[in-house]
Every structure is written in C-alpha cells, then in structure tokens.
Amino acid sequence: MIDRDIENCTSAALANAGVGPKYFGRFANGRVEGWVPNSRPMKRKEMTESRFIVKNAAALSELHSFPVTEELQTFHSNPGMWDQLWLWFNQAKRDALTEGKLGADDAIRFQTIMEELVGLNFEKAQKELEMLQTLTEAAKSPVVFCHNDALADNILVVEETDVLLIDFEYGGCNYRDY
C-alpha cells in the first residue's frame, strides 16, 4: 500500500519547503529524518482542545499551500481519494465474499453480521459511495497537497506550544475538503 520511493521523494520535498521534518537521506526501506527535540505525539483528545485547533488548522493550511514540485507531479497530480476508496471497497468485497479468503461458511456469516449489526451490505455501500463521489465532484473543492492521514499520532506537539505534521506516507493530492 505504501511506495517507499514516492514516500521518500515526498518527505524530501516537504522538508525542503519547511513543511515537514528535516530529511537527511534514505536507506533500503526507510529514511533518516531530523529529530524534533521537546516533542511528543499529540493525544487524540487534544485534537479538540482550543490551544491546538488553530495550530492544527494552520499546519494543514500550510501543507495545502505546498506547491507540488515538478519531480512529484508524476506521483501527485490528481486527487487520490476515490481511487483509494474504490480499491479498498473492492478488496473488502472480494475478500469478504470469496470462499478462498474466509471459506464459504465464514463469508455467509460475515455478510449476515454486517447486515444485522451494522445495516450494511456491499450493494448499499456501493450506492452510497457512488452518491458521495458525485457530491464530492459537484462541490468542486480545490485539489491541493493533503496529508491524508492526519491522525493525532501523526502530529507532534513541539515545546507544548506548537505542532508539526509528520508521517506523509499517504500524502498526495486530494480535495481540500477531504
């Protein structure tokens, strides 16, 4: 799911633009980034605290203003949200409904549980995704560089007063609203 070459190119470009942590280089399946002293991962509950809401929004705004360099245009030029969602949907559908992954009895059991407990079946989910995709495209949200995984663990609290986005392995162009 993660292409380390793309991730490393993206991390280097973001570091050069001052948006991400310092980037020193790469090795086989990883990279060396600068250490951020006096920092810690944000706690999930802190994401809704007033002292961090504005800072998180400012960090995302700065990221959304990152101009995708010519080198990254090959990887990050079109919104990836719908391609990714449809890939996951089709994988889930294939894996849940095929006997090869779960076995016939488990596949039927899974479908029953999903419909009874969650009220979800793949037909309904597909229709909802199609509707959401239509609405998303109609909204004409600007396409910008997005983090695509802005969870608390991917935001560092620095000196208890600032924030820094990290871990851009899912980063790429997407709808700003996303």
Please report the domains of the chain, with CATH numbers, ordered by start residue: 4-77+140-175 (3.90.1200.10)
Cβ-based neighbour number of residue 49 at 10 Å: 12
How does residue 98 score in pLDDT terms, banded at 50, 70 and 90? Answer: low
Helix/strand/coil (H/E/C) assignment for every residue in the chain: CCCHHHHHHHHHHHHHCCCCCCEEEEECCEEEECCCCCEEECCHHHHHCHHHHHHHHHHHHHHHCCCCCHHHHCCCCCCCHHHHHHHHHHHHHHHHHCHHHHCHHHHHHHHHHHHHHHCCCHHHHHHHHHHHHHHHHHHCCCEEEECCCCCHHHEEEECCCEEEECCCCCCEEEECCC
- Closest alpha carbon to 62 in 141, 145, 120, 139: 145
More confident residue, 32 or 122: 32
pLDDT over 70 (residue 101): no
How does residue 71 score in pLDDT terms, banded at 50, 70 and 90? Answer: confident
pLDDT over 70 (residue 134): yes
What is the structure's pLDDT at 108? 72
pTM for this predicted structure: 0.77
pLDDT over 90 (residue 24): yes
More confident residue, 80 or 146: 146
